[in-house]
Each structure stands twice: as structure tokens, then as C-alpha cells.
Amino acid sequence: MTFLRSREAVLTGALLVLLALIATRFPGFIAPANLAAVFNDTAPLIILALGQMVVILTRCIDLSVAANLALCGMVAALLNVAFPGLPVVVIVAAVTALGAALGAVNGLLVWKVGIPPIVVTLGTLTIFRGVIFLISDGAWVNAHQMTDPFKALPRSALLGLPVMSWCAIAVIVGTAVLVWRTALGRSFYAVGGNPHAAVYTGIDVGRTQFTAFVLSGALAGLTGYLWVARYAVAYVDIAAGFELDVIAACVIGGIGIAGGIGSVGGAVLGALFLGVIKNALPVVDISPFWQMAISGAAIITAVILNSRTRRAKGRLILRQTEGHA
Amino acid sequence: MTDVPVLALRGVTKTFPGVTALDGVHLSLFAGQVTALIGENGAGKSTLVKTLTGIYRPDGGSIEIDGVPVRFATAQDAGAAGITAIHQETVLFDELTVAENIYIGHAPRTRFGLIDTARMMREARSLLASIGATLDPATRLRDLGIASKHLVAIARALSIDARVVIMDEPTAALSQKEIEELYALVATLKAQGKAILFISHKFDEIFRIADRYTVFRDGQFVGDGLMADVDQDQLVQMMVGRSVDRVFPPRTHSPGAELLKVVGYCHPTEFADITFTLRQGEILGFYGLIGAGRSELMQALFGITKPSKGVCRIDDRISVIRSPADAIAAGIVYVPEDRGRQGAITALPIFQNVTLPSLRRTSRHGFLRMAEEFTLARTYTERLDLRAASLDQDVGNLSGGNQQKVVIAKWLATQPRVIILDEPTKGIDIGSKAAVHAFMAELAAAGLSVIMVSSEIPEVMGMSDRVIVMREGRMVAELAGAALTPQALVRHAAGIGADKTKVAA
Amino acid sequence: MTDTSLHRRLPDRLTTRTQRLLRSWEVLLLAVAVAIFTFNALASPYFLNVWNLSDATFNFTEKAMIAFAMALLIIAGEIDLSVAAIVALASTAMGYALQFGVGTPGLVAIGLGTGLACGAFNGFLVTRLGLASIVVTIGTMSLFRGISSIVLGDGAFNGYPASFAVFGQGYVWWVITVELAIFAVLAVVFGVLLHRTNFGRAVYAIGNNPTAALFSGVRVDRVRFILFLLTGLMAGLAAVCLTSRLGSTRPSIAMGMELEVVTMVVLGGVNILGGSGTIPGVVIAAFVMGLVTFGLGLLNVPGIVMSIFVGALLIGVIALPRLIGKLRA
């Protein structure tokens, strides 16, 4: 019963209705192979949405994820060009670490200097983009400059699914275990839900927020490689504005922007919802220019629905039985 | 009785820029005993709690556990030493389950280092059972009432095997029945050998459950001893440094003509069928248990919440009040119970707080006139004898009592006809209480009509011309004159007043 | 507290106007602006040319128009991230109307009207439905830009009438552009509105404690709604100026402008959490951002690299006072 009334259930229902509607126009869309392709296409959004969820849970926001992604992607591409012999795994590890370090910069400014997260990440967002230009000299890194193993990894199939999809699955499972079954994961909720009380239970609010930023940064770094390798191109403006898609996925997934509320399932479903819309528009013959307006309407609807379910609850002083007495 | 206290503070000092919050204080807590910490607001009680729980680090003196000096660098250290606090507003996590709230920070782990959810649920269930609580540990905290949240907080205290339990005004938001259950729990904790620090403003409960007392005044230690050796007057004397007679101000003026008439106020969930009148210069008390719907009714009269039915009439004008601005225009103002959140805007200066509802009068064509604002603010703050450095000072820098004065000055400056005071003396010290009472009498004598919501029987008895008792959102009695007795108030409020003969007896 | 029963007269203020001014954020920011100006003047011989400086004002005038209204909104504890999308939608609406031969006055009315309508929609969602403005405006940002993108596709609207060019390309007198004049007038209007009227006082009260403001009789939702309307109107005005200056409406118009506007407001000393900030601060911040962009441009630093400076400036100017405060403590 509680599940049926949960945000996840509503979202699952909405997603199924959406798929059913698309199927009436184009049955091929819900073929397993196509759904797998949609999932694969949505993988970067899912990964980043999970990182963002953790940050939002702690009452922060990370606007710099897309810029972080782009910077790490560019570094991955440049590393590959400069050292073609370097194993791809090393590059992945390096840019994930770089992403974590960039996240740590955000986290430190929030934790140690006490600047509001939205200001910090607004600043680092522009700085990261600028740095990409500096290190790349504004030039593109194109497919022919990248080595084949570098480009192949995200697409190579493992048990029928591309590595990119497996990355998303691994991040989903990892984040789920983290937030449900570890002390750190629960402290994300505690810090966002009631920072004052968190201090009394011995949780360091700033350090927890810092950890959230590092995690979000690391996931952005990983996605940076996946993105650049999959599209086989790196330039200053890749994933420009993608941070808003990520936040939109979280909002649709019922992650409360005020912190402390949200689930892994919600974030994943929110991302999938946007992913399905994006992939479905061309096949049902709607101009892709509609995509943005539709996702905007979806965000607003989700926000309204979330606020309705959360309100309703109030203390009832009048006992209903007394009215009949 | 053991001689070595479980926890002892010796000469602890804590200073903040410009203020010495604790000045060489002493405190000893003994196993299996309840020590009441007594002091006026600003005596240093909350600083002490924060020092004991590792939030603040003392600048001087020592904290000893079992006679061994310790140092708490973080809240975690204090927790590890077995000190836990249950706070004024139960500070826990709404989105986590009962079990997670109990075990956050020290949850049982599996051998992979993950939280062992099954074991946590099991242990939470048995722990809750041991304190007589029948809560499902898987329930989310946000679905619980305040009393149940208290139980969770206490279960948490037990779960970390606390040796010292600090209870900071634990009964402030509880109903009488819930308070009784809390007292029983305190007895259980005592029997288990915990040392309990009990902070409260209520003398009756201090005398009922405490074994020892410690009194602070202005951040300094005044005295301590056994409860058996003191009486109420001696404690009050120590608290305020002067003897305070608990006499209410005389009421010489009798109420005049009918000013306000409220007819048929209803709200879908909070209250129903409210009809009463208020006369000029009258003090009308509203008594009831916490949660009887009194504040909700007052906020509807003030236009914050909207009643589904009902009208009110002031003089001969029928008013429909849809917003506080309407209420103020009609001459009704409301001094809320929650001063910090609803009363003062702490980051704005005193004069801006005072003039906020009166800007229409001090401004011209919507443009501010500073000179008029300062004049108006000065007139009313001086009338209330506000203690501040200047009118430009932020309200947040003032003491609680002075913040309350700013809020009252703000309303008097609007020249209201009816002033609603919601728990006007809750949580303020005895000295300020008497001042508020005297002031209320003065206002009524000057022709202002006062509605006073109060849960304190002496205050209701001593101040009101007439009292309306509410229970579960409805008016259940209107008492005045000889019928106004403490017994009648309690019986009507608790719903056992049906048998008239017993009320009389 | 000493317990004196002597009657004391409470002074109005303990600090003088000069004392407060010297400690203010605006003075610190002004020092930064002077430093940048001096540095630029020394670094490039072209900097002190009045016509170059006049051109440089376009770097901030349109953004600053929105920033004034945004400053009020942020002081009141809200935010509007959809402003750039409103600019795009208003510009698209004007371009669309252009095809039906609407003249300059009509175009301006449509631009401003679109902005007002978008602001009203945001205001409705926030005040009537009680939603958080940051998420609502992330949603409407997609919605507004999405509608603009449906209309525009990957095309563009061109051929605005010559008389329409006056807003973005005209001069009032000598080197003073029409946009700069609008900027100056708006700076005064918003400064007076925030600092000298009952409305401005209500904005501060709401930003500091909306509950207490409501309990003090401030019509909180009405003030918030008006602020969203104002922000929409200013975005509409910025759309008129920007479209007039560029002479066309393209899909990428005003992309990312919301972040630059918020940066300008925060740099101007407005607390992102609400409750404090001034219009003079925003004015100085607008000049600082304009000077940085212009100065680096003269040194042939590409635009994207300038963003490093702007970002660092944003964090640095906020971090510095906090770090100094920490060191002192």
C-alpha cells in the first residue's frame, strides 16, 4: 500500500503510460532492443542525476556537473592523443579522480569557506569551461585523433549490453547500497533533513556535504570519459546546459530541493522519463524542437504533484466522530 | 549514595565576543538521580547544554567523568562518553524511519561494514518495548506526533547506552497525559542508574521529579543542593536574586461596551462553532490543553488561516478578515507564541520591526520617511522600557524578553482595538512575566480589549475577566466570577466536566 | 545587562553614515572596479578611448536591466532562473509578429507583454501553488525556451524595421547610448523602489523572515507576485534592446544569460539566501563585469577565458571577507 502511494509508483505509472502512448504510434519503440538503446542513451543522465541527488539531499546544489564533465572529457581526450599507448582504464581512473578533485574544490569552498553552494558552483561552472578552452586552445579533438580502444570501450558489449549501460547499472547499485546501507548514506539524509540535529548526533555537516560534492564530481569525471568516447569528439561546449537536465531529472524524480528527501529509484525514473521523451519524439514524428518544452512542462507538473502529496498532511484537531454526536 | 559524580563541571567558563555566557560554573550529576537546572532565560542553560554535548568547547575550567578530566572536541566525543541530550524541539530526522533515528551514528553493521537493517529493526523494536512504546520501527518519523517523537528520542538515548541524559524542557510541547508518561519514563531511566539533567521552567514538575537542584543566574553558579532541603520561594529567590511575590496586578477597571463579536467560526479540520463576544477593556482568557485549537482559532481571527464559515463584527462594522493586513486594518493584532519565527524579524533593526505594520502612516505616497519612523519607534519602545543600544540595532542582538517587547511595541504602534496574546509568558523568566502581566492590565485599563491564550492556570485565573475553555476545536465552557475555579478549568479542558455536581464539589 | 530603572533616551543610530559606508560591500567592490579600470588603462592604449568605453557598456546594460529586478527578487528570498528563456521567448514573439507587418511600437509592446506574461506565470506557480521558485523557474526555463524553439526551429527572424534599431543601436547624446540611458534611469528607479519605499521595506522583511512578515501584515504573496512580474517585464525590455542591437532573433539568443545575471547580482553584494543587498552594489558589479570583459577583450583574451575571471571574481569577492573574518576570529 505504501508503495502504491509513493512517488516512485506514480513515476513508474507515468512512464508506463508514456511508453504505451508511444507504442500506439510506433510499436517498435517498446521492443526490448530499442528500450535497451534508450537506456544506454540515458546512461549519462542517470549517472549524473544520482550524483546530483546525493548533493541535493545534503541541501546543496551542484551546477558545475556539466562543466566538470566537459573538462574531464577534454582531459581524457587530450591524454589519449598525447599518450596513445596509455591503457584506457588508466585514463578512466585519472579523469574520475580529476572529477572528484574538482568536486572537492566545490566541497571545500562550501565546507571551509561557507559560501552558498549555488554561488560556488555557478562560479566553478564558468571557471571549468574557461579552463577547457585554455588546455585545448579552443580546438576540437576529433574522432580520427583518438585511438580505437579509447572510442570502443563504452560501446563494447558485455552480456548483451554496452559497457556504458553497465556503468550506469553499477552506479545505480552502488548509490543504492551507499544511501540505504551505509552510515555515510544515511547521514546525507540527516544533514539535509535537519542539519541542526545532525550536529547533535555527531555528524559533521560540512564534511558530509563535502563528500557529496566529491562523489558528484567523481561521477561527472567518469561520465566525461564516457561522453567523449561515445560521441568521439571533445570541445569546449560539450554537454552545455546539461546540468539543468540533470537537475530536472532529480526534480521529476521527487528529490526535494530543500534537502533530505529523495530516493535512488526516483532519480533513475526521473532521468529515464526525460530519456524516453527525448528518444521518442523523432519516432512519433514530433519535431525534436518540442523536446525542451515538453520536459519543461514535465518538470512543472512533477513539482506541482510533489507539493500536493507532501502537503495534505495536517493535524486534525476536530474529531470527525464528534460531528455526529 | 555515591560520592563521586558521574559528570562534574568545575569552574567552566565560556565567552563569546562581548558576552560571558558561562562564568566559572559548577554542576554535578549523580547516577540514578535527577538534577534540575534552574535559571531565568539568559542564565546560561543552553550554553551549558551545548558545552556538555561537545558543540561548544569551554574556554576555562574542566569537565570530569567519574572524577577524570575529559575534553570533548566534537559532538561525537561527548556521545562516546555517554552524554546525550533530548532537546526542546525534538531534534530528529523526519525522513528517516524510527529505527534509523534511534541508531543513526551507531547502527549495527554486517561483516561487510554495511548497516544490518534487520538487526537494527529487531533491536529498535525491543528497545521501544522496554520503554512501553508501541511504535513500528519502520515508520517514518514524519508520520508521528510530537509525543511519539519524544519516545524515539528517549529510545535513542538508551540505545547509545548513555550514562548522562540531558532533558531540555521536555514537557514544553506535551499534553498533560503525555507529560505523565514522560515522568514515568524518567523514573525508568533513574532506576536504570542514568544521571539525568532536567531543565525546566515549571516549578511543580521540578518538585515532583527532581532529587537535586543547581541554580544559575547570569551565567554564574548560584547554588545547589537537595530538593528536600528547599521550598519554592527559596528557589525563586536564588533564581532572580530578589524575592518575587507571585501576585497578579489589581484590575480596577470593569469592562465597557461590547466591541468584538465572533459568530460561527468554523474550519474544516481545526475548530468549529466558535461564537463569543469581547468587551472594551476586557481580558478574555482562552484555556485548554495544548492542541485544543486555540492558536489555530486566533490565527484565523488574525487572517493567517481562513475559516470556512463565520463572520466577526467590530463595533457595528461586519468584517471579513482574509489576511493579516485586513485584521490590522480592522484593529485586531496578534502576538504569536513562536516569537523567533513569527514575531520578530531578527536581522532587521528595531525601528524597522516596529514600523513594519504602520508604514502606511509613517510614509507619504508610499515613500519612506525615516524621521517619522524613528519617532514612532521611539514612542512605543520607550513606553515598554526596551533595553537596547540604539534603535538601529538588529533585533537578533536583543535578549528574548526585549525581543518580545519589540513585537508588542510593533503592535501597539498600530493603535489596535483588540490585541491577541498567544502564550505571552511562555518560556520567559519570572521577572519578565510580572512585567508582562502588569502591562496587560495597563492596556486593558486604557480601553484595549485583550484576548489571552494561556495554558497556565494561575495566569488564566489571575488575569482574566472571563475564560473560554476549548477542547478538540470546540468551545466547551465559558467561566467567570465564582464559576471560574482551577478545578472547573481542568475538568472542562480534559472533558470530564459533564457531571455538574462534581464540578461544584 | 545592567538593571537601571533610570529613563534613558534610545539613540536613533550609533554609527554615522560615513562609518557604515566605509565598512560596506559597495566600497570594497568600488575599489575592485577602480583597480580593474587602472590596470586596463595601463595595459592597453585603446582602453581610454570614449567610443570604445561607450561600446563596452553593451557588455552589461541588458543584463543589468534584468539584474535590478533579479536583485529585488533574490533579496526577497526567491530566484528566477528563467530570465534568459523569457528574453528568448519575447524576442521570438517579436520576430513572429514581425512577419505580420507589426510596426516598432507594436513590437515593443509584444516584447514587454511577453515578458510580463512569463513573469505572471512564474509568479502564479510560486505564490498561488506555493512551489519553490528555484525548481519552478528551472521548469519554466525549459518551457519558455522550448516554446521559442518550437516556433524558431533552427531558423531565425530577420528584417526588423529601421526605427526598431534605436533601442540597441541609438545614441541619446554624444557617447551615451540609449541602452546606457535606460540602464541609468532604471538604476535610479529600482534604487528608490528598494531603498526609499514601503514596497522595498516589505522586500527586505520577506527576505529575512517571510512568516514574521506575514504576521506583521505584509501582503507577502502579492509582493512576491509583483517581483516576478517586474523580473519578467525587465527580461522583456532586455529582449527588446538585445533584439534591436543584434537585428535578428536566433535560437541561441541570450543563452546562459541567467547565470551571468545571477552572478552580477551576487557580485553586487546581494545575499543569495535573501534578506540583504543594495542596488548601488549591483550597479557597481555591472561596471566591474563590463570592465573585465572589455579589458580582456582589448588584450585579445577570448570570451570563454574571461569567464574564468568572472567566475573567480564571483567566488573570490565573496570568499575574501569570509576568510579574513575567519583569520581574525
pLDDT tens figures, B86-143:
875 556 888 889 999 888 888 888 888 888 989 999 999 998 888 777 889 998 888 8
Element (H, E) at A71: helix A65-82
Buried b (16+ CB within 10 A) or exposed e, C36-53: bbeebeeebeebeeeeeb
DSSP state of B389: S
- Kindly report the nearest CA distance between residue C72 and chain B, in angstroms: 16
C-alpha to C-alpha distance for B260 and B315, rounded to whole angstroms: 6
Q: Is C267 exposed, middle or buried (0-12, 13-18, 19+ CB in 10 A)?
A: buried
With CA atoms as reference, the chain B residue closest to A321 would be B472
Q: Does C322 touch chain A (CB under 8 A)?
A: yes
Residue C208 and residue B347: Cβ atoms within 8 Å? yes
**Predicted ipTM of the assembly:** 0.84
C-alpha to C-alpha distance for C153 and B417, rounded to whole angstroms: 63
Q: Does C52 touch chain A (CB under 8 A)?
A: no
pTM, 2 dp: 0.83
Give C-chain residues touching A297 at CB under 8 angstroms: 139, 143
pLDDT confidence bin for A281, thresholds 50/70/90: confident
Q: Does C324 touch chain A (CB under 8 A)?
A: no
Q: Residue A15: its pLDDT value, please?
A: 92
List, edge to edge, every strand of the sheet that includes B449-453.
B332-335, B418-422, B449-453, B283-288, B466-471, B474-480
Name which of B95, B267, B476 to mutate to probe chain A: the one with the most chain A Cβ atoms within 10 A of its Cβ.
Answer: B95
What are C166-223's pLDDT values in tens digits?
998 989 888 899 999 999 999 999 999 999 999 999 999 999 999 999 999 999 999 9
Closest CA to A306 of A55, A6, A16, A48: A6
Structural domain that includes position C166: 48-328
Q: Residue B108: its pLDDT value, please?
A: 86
Q: Residue B496: its pLDDT value, please?
A: 64
Torsion of CA C166, C167, C168, C169, to 10 degrees: 20
pLDDT confidence bin for B499, thresholds 50/70/90: very low
- Answer yes or no: are the C-beta atoms of B144 and B152 closer than 8 Å: yes
Identical fold, B7-240 and B245-331+419-505: yes
Please list the residues that pair with B214 across neighbouring strands. Answer: B37, B224
- Kindly report the nearest CA distance between residue A312 and chain B, in angstroms: 12
Any idea which residue has 527532581 for its cell?
A: B210
Give B-chain residues touching A190 at CB under 8 angstroms: 93, 96, 104
What are C130-181's pLDDT values in tens digits?
888 988 998 999 899 999 999 998 899 999 999 999 998 989 888 899 999 9
Residue A317 and residue B291: Cβ atoms within 8 Å? yes
Q: Residue B154: its pLDDT value, please?
A: 82
User: What subunits make at least 3 CB pairs under 8 angstroms with C?
Assistant: A, B
Please list the residues that pair with C248 across neighbouring strands. Answer: C158
Give B-chain residues touching C1 at CB under 8 angstroms: 387, 399
Name which of C12, C193, C203 to mutate to probe chain B: the one with the most chain B Cβ atoms within 10 A of its Cβ.
Answer: C12
- Kindly report the nearest CA distance between residue C175 and chain A, in angstroms: 32
Name which of A235, A290, A300, A306 to mutate to probe chain C: the one with the most chain C Cβ atoms within 10 A of its Cβ.
Answer: A300
Q: Residue B18: its pLDDT value, please?
A: 57
How many beta carbons lie within 10 A of that of residue C229, not counting itself? 19
Residue B325 and residue C218: Cβ atoms within 8 Å? yes
Give C-chain residues touching A63 at CB under 8 angstroms: 259
Angle in degrees, 0-180, between the axes of helices A264-283 and A291-311, rounded to the nearest 10: 150
Nearest CB to A300; choose among C136, C145, C319: C136
CATH code at C183? 1.10.3470
Q: Residue B89: its pLDDT value, please?
A: 53
Give C-chain residues touching A248 at CB under 8 angstroms: 138-139, 142
Share of chain A above pLDDT 70, in %: 93
C-alpha to C-alpha distance for A65 and A47, rounded to whole angstroms: 11
Q: Is the pLDDT of residue B184 over 60?
A: yes
- Kindly report the nearest CA distance between residue C305 and chain A, in angstroms: 5
Q: Is residue C26 part of a domain?
A: no
Taking the domain A27-308, which CATH number applies?
Answer: 1.10.3470
Q: Is C231 exposed, middle or buried (0-12, 13-18, 19+ CB in 10 A)?
A: buried
Size of interface A-C (CB pairs under 8 A): 143
Give A-chain residues touching B99 at CB under 8 angstroms: none
Residue C140 and residue A304: Cβ atoms within 8 Å? no
Between strands B34-38 and B212-217, the pairing is parallel
User: What is the DSSP secondary-structure string of B223-266?
Assistant: EEEEGGG--HHHHHHHHHSS----PPPP--SPP-SEEEEEEEEE
Residue A186 and residue B269: Cβ atoms within 8 Å? no
Nearest CB to A296; choose among C131, C143, C323: C143
pLDDT confidence bin for A310, thresholds 50/70/90: low
Residue C14 and residue B389: Cβ atoms within 8 Å? yes
pLDDT confidence bin for A312, thresholds 50/70/90: very low
Give A-chain residues touching C302 at CB under 8 angstroms: 133, 138
Residue B420 has phi, psi (to 5 degrees) of -100, 120
Q: Is residue C34 part of a domain?
A: no
Q: How far from each other are the two terminal CA atoms of chain A, in whole angstroms?
A: 32
What are A60-91's pLDDT values in tens digits?
999 999 999 999 999 999 999 999 999 999 99
Q: Residue B242: its pLDDT value, please?
A: 53
Element (H, E) at B422: strand B418-422
- Give pairs for A159-165: CB < 8 Å, separation 24+: A160/A36, A161/A36, A161/A40, A162/A40, A164/A40, A164/A43, A164/A226, A164/A230, A165/A36, A165/A39, A165/A40, A165/A43
C-alpha cell at B40: 531565568
Class of domain B245-331+419-505: alpha beta
How many beta carbons lie within 10 A of that of residue C305, not counting itself? 15
What are C34-65's pLDDT values in tens digits?
998 898 888 888 888 888 888 888 889 999 99
Nearest CB to B115; choose among A182, A261, A323: A182
Between strands B283-288 and B466-471, the pairing is parallel
Locate the domains of chain A by residue range.
27-308
With CA atoms as reference, the chain A residue closest to B102 would be A201
Residue C10 and residue B357: Cβ atoms within 8 Å? no
How many beta carbons lie within 10 A of that of residue B210, not counting itself? 22
Q: Residue A274: its pLDDT value, please?
A: 92
C-alpha to C-alpha distance for A309 and A311, rounded to whole angstroms: 6
C-alpha cell at B217: 543566574
Which of A163-172, A305-314, B305-314 has the least mean pLDDT? Answer: A305-314
C-alpha cell at C195: 531603498
- Answer yes or no: are the C-beta atoms of B75 and B55 closer than 8 Å: yes
Q: Residue B27: its pLDDT value, please?
A: 92
Q: Does A323 touch chain B (CB under 8 A)?
A: yes
Q: Is residue C299 part of a domain?
A: yes
Size of interface B-C (CB pairs under 8 A): 102
Residue B115 and residue A186: Cβ atoms within 8 Å? yes
State how far the alpha carbon of A65 is from the alpha carbons of A221, A270, C21, C308, C316, in Å.
9, 17, 39, 16, 20
State how far the alpha carbon of B156 is from the alpha carbons of A299, B186, B209, B469, C129, in Å.
39, 14, 22, 37, 38
- Tell me the average pLDDT across C23-41: 85
Name which of C216, C219, C223, C226 to mutate to probe chain B: the one with the most chain B Cβ atoms within 10 A of its Cβ.
Answer: C216
Residue C149 and residue A289: Cβ atoms within 8 Å? yes
Query: In sequence order, what are the residues at sequence separation of 6 or more whose Cβ sits closer than 8 angstroms to the Cβ of residue B430?
Result: B40, B236, B239, B240, B244
- Tell me the average pLDDT across C266-277: 90
User: What subunits make at least 3 CB pairs under 8 angstroms with B?
Assistant: A, C
C-alpha cell at C308: 574564468
Share of chain B above pLDDT 70, in %: 92
pLDDT confidence bin for B17, thresholds 50/70/90: low
Q: How many helices (H) and strands (E) does chain B have?
A: 18, 20
Q: Residue A316: its pLDDT value, please?
A: 54
- Answer yes or no: are the C-beta atoms of B471 and B492 closer than 8 Å: yes
Q: Residue B289: its pLDDT value, please?
A: 76
C-alpha cell at C227: 517581483
Give A-chain residues touching C140 at CB under 8 angstroms: 296, 300
pLDDT confidence bin for B80, thresholds 50/70/90: confident
Closest CA to B239 of B15, B472, B453, B38: B38
With CA atoms as reference, the chain C residue closest to B384 would be C7
Q: Is residue C233 part of a domain?
A: yes
Q: Residue C189: its pLDDT value, please?
A: 97
Nearest CB to A130; choose among C140, C266, C308: C308
- Tell me the average pLDDT across B310-317: 86
Residue C12 and residue B359: Cβ atoms within 8 Å? no
Name which of A201, A261, A324 to mutate to probe chain B: the one with the most chain B Cβ atoms within 10 A of its Cβ.
Answer: A201
What are B443-464's pLDDT values in tens digits?
999 899 999 998 877 788 889 9
With CA atoms as reference, the chain A residue closest to C122 would be A300
Q: Does B341 touch chain C (CB under 8 A)?
A: yes
C-alpha to C-alpha distance for A258 and A98, rounded to whole angstroms: 28
HSE at residue A258, side-chain half, CA atoms within 13 A, is 10
pLDDT confidence bin for C280, thresholds 50/70/90: very high
Nearest CB to C131; choose among A124, A126, A304: A304
Mean pLDDT highest for which of A94-98, A243-247, B157-161? A94-98
C-alpha to C-alpha distance for A294 and B262, rounded to whole angstroms: 50
Residue C217 has phi, psi (to 5 degrees) of 90, 5
Q: Residue C22: its pLDDT value, please?
A: 67
Give C-chain residues touching B360 at CB under 8 angstroms: 198
Any idea which residue has 582589448 for its cell?
A: C298
Nearest CB to A138; choose among C141, C302, C306: C302
Give A-chain residues touching B100 at CB under 8 angstroms: 186
Element (H, E) at B288: strand B283-288
State how far the alpha carbon of B174 is from the alpha carbons of B454, B468, C176, C278, in Å.
14, 21, 68, 44
- Kindly report the nearest CA distance between residue A54 and chain B, in angstroms: 15
Any idea which residue has 533513475 for its cell?
A: A268
Is B7-240 in CATH node 2.30.30.240? no
Which of A14-23, B335-344, C77-86 has the least mean pLDDT? Answer: B335-344
Locate the domains of chain B by residue range.
7-240, 245-331+419-505, 345-415
- Tell me the average pLDDT across A201-230: 95
- Tell me the average pLDDT across C234-241: 97
Q: How far from each other are the two terminal CA atoms of chain C, in whole angstroms?
A: 24
Residue A261 has phi, psi (to 5 degrees) of -125, 130
C-alpha to C-alpha distance for B455 and B353, rounded to whole angstroms: 28
With CA atoms as reference, the chain C residue closest to B369 would be C196
Q: Give chain C's domain count.
A: 1
Element (H, E) at B309: strand B309-314
Q: Residue B399: its pLDDT value, please?
A: 74
C-alpha to C-alpha distance for B271 and B299, rounded to whole angstroms: 12
C-alpha to C-alpha distance for B56 and B16, rounded to whole angstroms: 11
Please list the residues that pair with B226 across neighbouring strands. Answer: B212
Nearest CB to B410; choose among C192, C202, C216: C216
User: What is the DSSP secondary-structure string of B53-118?
Assistant: TTSS--SEEEEEETTEEE--SSHHHHHHTTEEEE-SS----TTSBHHHHHHTTS--B-TTSSB-HH
Residue B122 has phi, psi (to 5 degrees) of -60, -50
Torsion of CA B384, B385, B391, B394, to 10 degrees: -80
User: What is the DSSP secondary-structure string of A246-307?
Assistant: HHHHHHHTT--TTSS---HHHHHHHHHHHHHHHHHHHHTT--GGGHHHHHHHHHHHHHHHHH
What are B356-407's pLDDT values in tens digits?
999 988 999 999 999 999 999 999 998 888 888 889 888 888 877 788 889 9
Give C-chain residues touching B321 at CB under 8 angstroms: none
Q: How many angstroms separate the most distant Cα atoms in chain A?
A: 85
Residue C308 and residue A293: Cβ atoms within 8 Å? no
pLDDT confidence bin for C32, thresholds 50/70/90: confident
Q: Is the pLDDT of residue A313 over 60?
A: no
Q: Is the pLDDT of residue C329 over 70?
A: no
What are B133-151's pLDDT values in tens digits?
788 999 888 888 777 888 8
3-state SS class at B456:
coil
